[in-house]
Amino acid sequence: MSDSSELGAKSSERRFKIFSNAQREAILRAAEDAQFFALPDSLGPSSVPVDGPENTLEIELRGRVHKVLLNDPASAKGPQVDRFRRVWRAVVESSPLIPPL
């Protein structure tokens, strides 16, 4: 997962593994319910500053890996963005890290 919350801010990447079975199941359930693996690789406004804010979420499940980039999280809207946010929240709730969205 990586996030950048300010215009021109350096992107910071944070990777972690969920060790608790309950945490892993909560995230996988959210990913399946939100059909995360069917989301496009990029969401949000198509026109954003080069160094604008973005959130990236990558999930590996049973040998499949899917990575989705959310451009300009503060202004992004739509059903696919809502699906991304449901999974993002599940990850945040299971993580000691508190990235913005």
- Complete DSSP assignment for 37-60: GGS-SEES-S---TT--EEEEEEE
Whether residue 35 is contained in a domain is answered as: yes
What's the domain count of the chain?
1
Task: Provide the pLDDT for residue 11.
Answer: 53
Q: Indicate whether 88 belongs to any domain.
A: yes
pTM: 0.74
DSSP 101: -
Instruction: Establish if 9 belongs to a structural domain.
Output: yes
Domain of residue 48 covers 2-94
As given in the structure block, the two tokens for residue 14 are: 């944070």
Q: With beta carbons less than 8 A apart as the criterion, state whether 72 and 84 touch.
A: no
Q: Is 99 part of any domain? A: no
Q: Is residue 75 part of a domain?
A: yes
21 found inside a domain: yes
> Is 31 inside a domain boundary?
yes
Per-residue pLDDT of the chain (101 residues; tens, 9 = 90+): 444 444 444 556 666 666 688 888 888 899 999 999 999 999 988 766 666 678 889 988 888 899 999 988 888 899 999 999 999 999 888 876 665 55
Q: Is residue 101 part of a domain?
A: no
